[in-house]
Amino acid sequence: MEYNVAEVVNKVIEDVKVRNKGESEFHQTIEEVLHSLEPVLEKHPEYIKESILERIVEPERQIMFRVPWVDDNGNVKVNRGFRVQFNSAIGPYKGGLRFHPSVNLGIIKFLGFEQIFKNSLTGLPIGGGKGGSDFDPKGKSDREIMRFCQSFMTELYRHIGQHTDVPAGDIGVGAREIGYLFGQYKKIRNSYDAAVLTGKGLTYGGSLARKEATGFGVIYFVNEMLNYHKHSLEGKRVVISGSGNVAIYAAQKAQEFGANVVAMCDSAGYVIDENGIDIELIKQIKEVERKRIREYANRKDGSQYFEGQKGIWSVKCDIALPCATQNDISIEEAKLLVENNVLAIGEGANMPCTNEAVEYFLEKGVLVAPAKAANAGGVATSALEMSQNSMRLSWTFEEVDEKLKGIMINIFEASKNAAEEYGHKGNYVVGANIAGFLKVAETMMSQGII
Ligand code: GLU
Give residue 87 CA to ligand 1 midpoint distance, Å.
15
Task: Give CA angle at 412 (342, 381), nearest 5°.
Answer: 110
pLDDT for the residue numbered 37: 98
Mean predicted confidence (pLDDT) in 321-347: 98
Our answer on whether the CB atom of 213 is closer than 6 Å to any ligand 1 atom is no
Our answer on whether the CB atom of 94 is closer than 6 Å to any ligand 1 atom is yes
Our answer on whether the CB atom of 379 is closer than 6 Å to any ligand 1 atom is yes
Our answer on whether the CB atom of 23 is closer than 6 Å to any ligand 1 atom is no
pLDDT for the residue numbered 343: 98
pLDDT for the residue numbered 22: 97
Give residue 171 CA to ligand 1 midpoint distance, Å.
10
Write out pLDDT tens, residues 20-30: 999 999 999 99
Mean predicted confidence (pLDDT) in 351-359: 98
Give residue 421 CA to ligand 1 midpoint distance, Å.
29
Predicted TM-score (pTM) of this structure: 0.97
Instruction: Give yes or no for residue 295 having a pLDDT over 90.
Output: yes
Q: List the chain domain ranges.
A: 5-56, 61-197, 211-369
pLDDT for the residue numbered 443: 98
The C-alpha atoms of residue 287 and residue 280 are separated, in whole angstroms, by 10
pLDDT for the residue numbered 200: 98
Q: Architecture of 61-197 per CATH?
A: 3-Layer(aba) Sandwich (3.40)
Is 77 catalytic? The answer is no
Instruction: Give yes or no for residue 380 having a pLDDT over 80.
Output: yes
Instruction: Give yes or no for residue 291 having a pLDDT over 90.
Output: yes
Our answer on whether the CB atom of 96 is closer than 6 Å to any ligand 1 atom is yes
For 162-230, list the strands marked E by DSSP. Answer: 165-168
Instruction: Give yes or no for residue 161 having a pLDDT over 80.
Output: yes
Instruction: Give yes or no for residue 1 having a pLDDT over 80.
Output: no
Mean predicted confidence (pLDDT) in 90-112: 98
Core vs surface per residue 147-186: b (16+ CB within 10 A) or e: bbbbbbbbebbebbbbeebbbbbbbbbbbbbbbbbbebbb
Backbone angle region of 64, left / alpha / beta, with phi > 0 → left and psi within -120 to 50 → alpha: beta
Mean predicted confidence (pLDDT) in 186-191: 98
Instruction: Give yes or no for residue 386 having a pLDDT over 90.
Output: yes
pLDDT for the residue numbered 2: 85
Residue 266: CA count within 13 A, CB half-sphere: 21
Mean predicted confidence (pLDDT) in 194-215: 98
> Which among 123, 217, 251 has a CA at the least distance from the CA of 408?
217
Residue nearest to atom 10 of ligand 1 (CA): 379
Our answer on whether the CB atom of 217 is closer than 6 Å to any ligand 1 atom is no
Write out pLDDT tens, residues 189-201: 999 999 999 999 9
| Percentage of the chain exceeding pLDDT 70 | 100
Which is the catalytic residue, given 94, 118, 130, 236? 130
Core vs surface per residue 278-293: b (16+ CB within 10 A) or e: bbeebbebbeeeeeeb
Instruction: Give yes or no for residue 270 having a pLDDT over 80.
Output: yes
**pLDDT level of residue 309 (50, 70, 90 thresholds):** confident
Mean model confidence pLDDT for the chain: 98
Mean predicted confidence (pLDDT) in 3-26: 98
Superfamily of domain 211-369: NAD(P)-binding Rossmann-like Domain (3.40.50.720)
Same fold, 61-197 and 211-369: yes
Instruction: Tell me whether residue 248 is exposed, middle or buried, using C-beta atoms within 10 angstroms of its C-beta: 0 to 12, 13 to 18, 19 or more.
Output: buried
Give residue 298 CA to ligand 1 midpoint distance, Å.
33
Cβ atoms of 135 and 156 within 8 Å: the answer is no
Write out pLDDT tens, residues 114-143: 999 999 999 999 999 999 999 999 999 999
pLDDT for the residue numbered 96: 98
Mutate to test the pocket of ligand 1, among 379, 386, 389 (most ligand atoms within 8 A of CB): 379
**pLDDT level of residue 59 (50, 70, 90 thresholds):** very high
Our answer on whether the CB atom of 382 is closer than 6 Å to any ligand 1 atom is yes
Read off φ and ψ for residue 238, nearest 5 degrees.
-120, 135
Mean predicted confidence (pLDDT) in 307-317: 95
CA quadruple 286, 201, 81, 382: dihedral positive or negative? positive
